[in-house]
Structure 1
Amino acid sequence: MTTIVREMKIDDIDEASLFVRDHFYGHEPLMLTPGNHPLIYDDPKKREYRLSLVRQGTSLVAVDQSREGRTVGVAFAGVMHPSDLEQNWREVNERKPKLLMEHIHYFLCNIKKHAQFFEHYNVTDALYLKTLAVDSTMRRQGLARRLVVTLMELGRTRGYPLMVATCTGQYSTRLMASLGMECVHSELYADYKDEDGNVVIRPPEPHTEASVMAIKLQEMPLYSPGLYKTFF
């Protein structure tokens, strides 16, 4: 196997950010909502947030050794506390969302808040998978699965009690479920409307809802390479 999954380093941030631009935003179900929607792929605030995740040592990068170490997958993740959820919720309520990205941010913060996974599992911190992306030419080869399994093992060895991810499409939800994650809370996109009663987030079928998925890391089985299955 020429692709390795390793901890993301500070020196990886520029290539990883460009990778997210090219292989995440253009394929993320929510961003496929019909219409011309202005996007900001990178700015100082986004860059600093990604750097903060990398500094925690909880983000991963997949590199293809046969292509001079080219990035072919990323998983940005970091530790989340209840206070982080509250802070995010306060920020999104400072003004009414207007642009699609603002509505998406509000919707995702809202679904995480209603999931109440800290209370459900009685924990005070969790490893939160923020962004998972795989090179569009390397999908259905099990790479996304490898990234998630590696992140689970990393979280387990670091002593984190829980790993959480918000899945915005049917494929990512199936992937997480196949790895033992359970749905804590889900909401239909059709139920989220703006102040005029219009459905705002309209991804293509079969992506009809977002789900908050979680797994107790200290109770999960150890995974071996033989358990990897091609999925995504």
Structure 2
Amino acid sequence: MHVHLLQHSPHQGPARIADWLASMGHSHTVFHLDAGELPPRLADGDALILLDGPEGRDDDARPWLRAERKLVAQALDGRKPLLGIGYGARLIAEALGAIVARGTVAETGWHRVSLAPMTPVDLPEDFEAFMWHREVFALPDYALALGRSTASPLQGFTWDDGRVLALLCHLEATATSVAALLDHLPPPEGSEASPHAQDRATMLDDPRRFDRLAPLLDRLLSQWLRHAAR
């Protein structure tokens, strides 16, 4: 199976997703839209992943966005698995007609996610995940909520019987990917005043937190990619 990944920022890459795909025998190509590369043709891959990226609605600063929105619309109309994380999830929510807006507070660092009762996703009822956002989205029509955190009532959703998956939280995070965020990107707007924003030391002080994400990512991606075999 070959998976296309769309990257929107040099410091917000696939992280552990790339390792997982390789370990499962899948090939993948990362398209660096922020560097001027064009999105792939949907027909050239078996699944599509939209990675995180910069917050804000400044379309003029993202000349690639029109082509990506078209690709997302095509993917929603098709039958191949589609996954969005952070910014990628917001693009999917937007394409499905849901409201995307700035949340009440920024949410960064480690926070608990409580799984929604009706979600088809097989994850623990309560788990810790990494957060890096201020923008949030509403639940699209015909979608099922994945779960919630204290600061964000919707941490993701599934659509079309789980073929489409959108995640606000980050199960792919590693110590290296989080350090890159902290070294090169400003924190989400309002982080300095948010009770749900952690400092660098808290985010990186326990490597076991990243280790605990690995089996969660494995379960999630394994379920999601089953749609490619149908």
Instruction: Specify if TM > 0.5.
Output: no
When you count strand as a share of all residues, which structure comes out higher? 2
Higher relative contact order (CA 8 A, sep 6+): 1
TM-score, normalising length: structure 2 = 0.33
When you count helix as a share of all residues, which structure comes out higher? 1
TM-score, normalising length: structure 1 = 0.33
Q: Which has the larger radius of gyration?
A: 1
